[in-house]
Amino acid sequence: MKKDNLYNKDIPNNHKFIFDNDVTNVFEDMVHRSVPGYEFLIDNIGYIAKKFYQPNSNIYDLGCSLGACSISVSEKIEDLTGTIFAIDSSESMIKACGNNINNKNIEFIRSDILDTDIINSSVIILNLTLQFISIDKRTELLREFFRKINNKGVIILTEKIINNKKNDDDFSKSFHDFYKQNKGYSQEEIDRKKIALKNTMKIESEKQHEERFMEIGCNSFYKWFQCYNFVSWVLVK
Ligand SMILES: C[S@@+](CC[C@H](N)C(=O)[O-])C[C@H]1O[C@@H](n2cnc3c(N)ncnc32)[C@H](O)[C@@H]1O
């Protein structure tokens, strides 16, 4: 695993975080050292998928990056009879998946999730992806996924969140910084990455997400994970 040193040096004022070749090369190390509970999330997304998977249906891993969720799901569901469509808009991510993963159950596709059609699916996974979609497109996108997913199917959604109560937000942000420091990032690296992400990743509150779930017609949603400012829900149709 190549070490993430991307923000070890000064960045130009106009620098923006994108999922290019440089990020792809260090992504595994970056995500493990930046997202508290990442391994737990990946493992349990596999189990949730197994619980709700319907025979002969497909699974969509949207914003798959290096395919961690797809691999977890394919390892947990022994009798998978459909296809796992692992989709990402980043050319370098999809290329890396193609070079590193050889799994007959997973089909890697380079595409924008805004252009993705959901066909006969019981499980749709958005693990840390919706936060990179422009806020004004999120409701319609989720509505469409929820409309297309099979009855009793699920959307598994993980997001970094902002807390509307300032004290709680300060607490979770400072713990998240502390977590990253303990994983070997300097405060300078942490701050540079925050600046780089500012215009790329737009986070919302738990309340905003849950209001959106109700707006798209989902009344059965469950928060199954929270670690500091990272939350994951299961939305059941
Ligand atoms: C934080 S990563 C997701 C991590 C991954 N799901 C995992 O579990 O390891 C976000 C991913 O979403 C992808 N992405 C962002 N916007 C996208 C879009 N509009 N369509 C498809 N993929 C997108 C990025 O290229 C990136 O690989």
Predicted confidence at residue 22, as pLDDT, reads: 95
Backbone angles phi, psi at 158, to 5 degrees: -115, 135
Q: Ligand 1 centroid to 129 CA: how many Å?
A: 5
Which residues are 61's β-sheet partners?
Answer: 86, 125
Q: How confident is the model at residue 64 (pLDDT cuts 50, 70, 90)?
A: very high
Contact 124, 145 (CB under 8 A): yes
Distances (CA, A) of 19 to 117, 142, 196, 211: 23, 22, 12, 29
Cβ of 31 closer than 6 Å to ligand 1, yes or no, is: yes
Contact 66, 27 (CB under 8 A): yes
Backbone angles phi, psi at 55, to 5 degrees: -50, 140
Cβ of 67 closer than 6 Å to ligand 1, yes or no, is: no
Q: Ligand 1 centroid to 87 CA: how many Å?
A: 8
Indicate if the pLDDT at residue 13 is higher than 90.
no
Predicted confidence at residue 92, as pLDDT, reads: 98
Predicted confidence at residue 80, as pLDDT, reads: 96
Predicted confidence at residue 36, as pLDDT, reads: 97
Indicate if the pLDDT at residue 14 is higher than 90.
no
As a whole-number percent, the residues of the chain with pLDDT over 70 amount to 100
Q: Where are the alpha helices (DSSP H) in the chain?
A: 21-34, 38-52, 68-76, 91-100, 135-148, 166-182, 187-197, 206-215
The tens digit of pLDDT for each residue in 74-124 reads 999 999 999 999 999 999 999 999 999 999 999 999 999 999 999 999 999
Class of domain 1-237: alpha beta
Q: How far apart are CA 53 and CA 212, in angstroms?
A: 24
Predicted confidence at residue 10, as pLDDT, reads: 86
- Burial zone of 205 (CB within 10 Å; 0-12 exposed, 13-18 middle, 19+ buried): middle
Indicate if the pLDDT at residue 199 is higher than 90.
no
Helix (H, G, I), strand (E, B) or coil at 74: helix
Measured on CA atoms in the order 182, 187, 189, 193, is the torsion positive or negative? positive
Cβ of 89 closer than 6 Å to ligand 1, yes or no, is: yes
Predicted confidence at residue 105, as pLDDT, reads: 96
Indicate if the pLDDT at residue 12 is higher than 90.
no
Q: How far apart are CA 126 and CA 157, in angstroms?
A: 5
The tens digit of pLDDT for each residue in 166-176 reads 999 999 999 99
Domain ranges of the chain: 1-237
Cβ of 113 closer than 6 Å to ligand 1, yes or no, is: yes
The tens digit of pLDDT for each residue in 24-61 reads 999 999 999 999 999 999 999 999 999 999 999 999 99
Q: H/E element holding 88?
A: strand 84-88
User: Taking the CA atoms of the chain, what radius of gyration do you get in angstroms?
Assistant: 17
Cβ of 68 closer than 6 Å to ligand 1, yes or no, is: yes
